[in-house]
Structure 1
Amino acid sequence: MGWLIRAGVYLLSGFTIWQFVQGPADVAGLHKHLSLDQVHGMVLGVCAGISNYTGIDVSLIRLVWALSVFYRGIGIALYILAFLIMPVS
């Protein structure tokens, strides 16, 4: 079970790095910015903001984030760090 959680965390981190390196897609002249979405968020809006930026369903992001909490508690630290770094939209 531990290897499955570890593989999921590695895939999520690799995908996140790939998204940042690739940059946001320019759709009809609109630039997407990574920011908190407190209107659609459940706790602080971090997962909803990442969902808006990447286009991935927010439920999938929340599931992966919840699994990362069980992997040595790193999800809690990353969530707080993301909340402190990401600007409010």
Structure 2
Amino acid sequence: MLWLIRAGAYLVSGLTIWQFAHGGAGIGSILAAHKPLTLDPDHSMIFGVCAGLSNFTGMDVTLIRLIWVILAFYRGIGIGLYLLAFLIMPVKG
């Protein structure tokens, strides 16, 4: 249960930093400026989750993959989140 509270705190703090980095723009205007969140099998290494997330956020795909690997080594959370994202995200097309 404690890990869920910790994950929520990380998510809220990450979104706060993201909003600050984008000049205080509302989250709706930030999300409207990007492509929809979909899997990107054309630029994928495994399933296309990191490439799709890179297209959605505009961040470098290498940085996103590095974050996933760090989360995978941290109690295996990254593996579970990766599989969950693969199951939830629609295929680009």
The 2-side partners of 1:25 and 1:77 are apart by 28
Q: 2:51 aligns with which of 48, 51, 57?
A: 48
Percent identity (aligned)? 67
* Residue-pair matches, total: 74
Where does the alignment leave 5 or more consecutive residues of structure 1 unmatched? 1-5
Q: TM (normalized to structure 1)? A: 0.72
Q: In the alignment, which residue of structure 1 is the partner of 2:3?
A: none
**Which residue number corresponds to residue 14 of structure 1?**
14
When the two chains are superposed, the root-mean-square deviation of aligned CA atoms in Å is 2.6
Q: Which has the larger radius of gyration?
A: 2
SS for the counterpart of 1:53 is: helix
User: In the alignment, which residue of structure 2 is the partner of 1:3?
Assistant: none
Q: Out of 49, 55, 77, which is 2:80 matched to?
A: 77
The amino acid of 2:14's aligned partner reads G
Residue 42 of structure 2 aligns to a residue in which SS? coil
User: How much does 1:32 deviate?
Assistant: 1.6
| Aligned-partner Cα distance in 2 for 1:51–1:37 | 9
The list of structure 1 runs, each at least 4 consecutive aligned residues, that deviate by more than 3 angstroms after superposition, is: none
TM-score where L is the length of structure 2 = 0.69
| Alpha-carbon shift at residue 25 of structure 1 (Å) | 3.7
